[in-house]
Amino acid sequence: MAEPARAKPKPTPETQHFWDGAKAGELRLQRCDACANVYFPPRPFCPSCASRKVSVFKASGKGKLYSYVINHRPAAPGFTPPYAIAVVELDEGPRMMSNIIDCPQTPEALELDMKLEVAFQQLDDKITLPVFRPAKG
């Protein structure tokens, strides 16, 4: 029997721009044209003021480590434990779940509030996943 496959996102009409952005090497967020609220995950209206006038923009890709676990068991298909599952707070405000690459997956190396920058991990022809690495400098 084949190994269970790694979970891959399947875009919807409301999230397609985000996944198109990741494939193009951009982290895309949305901003409300009416109240300037920046939000995530994607949706075609502002969850703060309900305006449908919203714009997609390229985020800075910078953020900091808000919290995480280092998962030992059970491991998700396609992951080799121990691996960190992190929540990153983006400079623009929203937070997103992610993985931290180019960094030992240890409590010592993963310091809360450490600065991070986005990187992109290609899963297949269709899906590229935004992940984060310790910021340079």
Partner 1 sequence: MRRNQVAVVGAAETTELGVIPNMSQIQLHADAALNAIADAGLKLSDIDGIATAVETPQQIAHYLGITPTWVDGTSVGGCSFMLHVRHAAAAIEAGLCKTVLITHAESGKSMIGKLPRSTPADSLNGQFEAPYGVYGPPSMFPIPVLRFMKTHGITHEQLAMVAVVQREWAAKNPRATMKDPITVADVLNSRMIAYPFRLLQCCLVTDGGGALILTSADRAKDFPRKPVYILGTGESVETPMVSQMQTFDSSRAFKVAGPLAFKEAGIAHKDVDHLMIYDAFAHLPLYGLGDLGFMPHEETGKFIADGNTRPGGKLPLNTNGGGLSYMHSGMYGMYALQESVRQMRGIAPAQVPNAKISVCHGVGGMFAASGTIIFTNEK
Closest approach of Cβ 34 to partner 1, in Å? 21
Q: Which of 31, 79, 117, 135 binds partner 1 (CB under 8 A)?
A: 79
96 binds partner 1 (CB under 8 A): yes
Tell me what percent of the chain is helix, strand and coil, each rounded to the nearest 5: 5, 35, 60
Residues in the chain: 137
Q: What are the tokens at 67?
A: 């919290």
82 binds partner 1 (CB under 8 A): yes
Q: 27 to 46, contacts with partner 1 by CB under 8 A?
A: 40-41
Q: Which of 12, 51, 60, 122 binds partner 1 (CB under 8 A)?
A: 12
Closest approach of Cβ 93 to partner 1, in Å? 12
Torsion sign over Cα 75, 80, 82, 87? negative
Closest approach of Cβ 20 to partner 1, in Å? 13
134 binds partner 1 (CB under 8 A): no
Inter-residue contact 133 to 100 (CB < 8 Å)? yes
Q: Which residues bind partner 1 (CB under 8 A)?
A: 6-12, 15, 19, 40-41, 66-79, 82-83, 85-87, 95-99, 107, 112, 123, 129
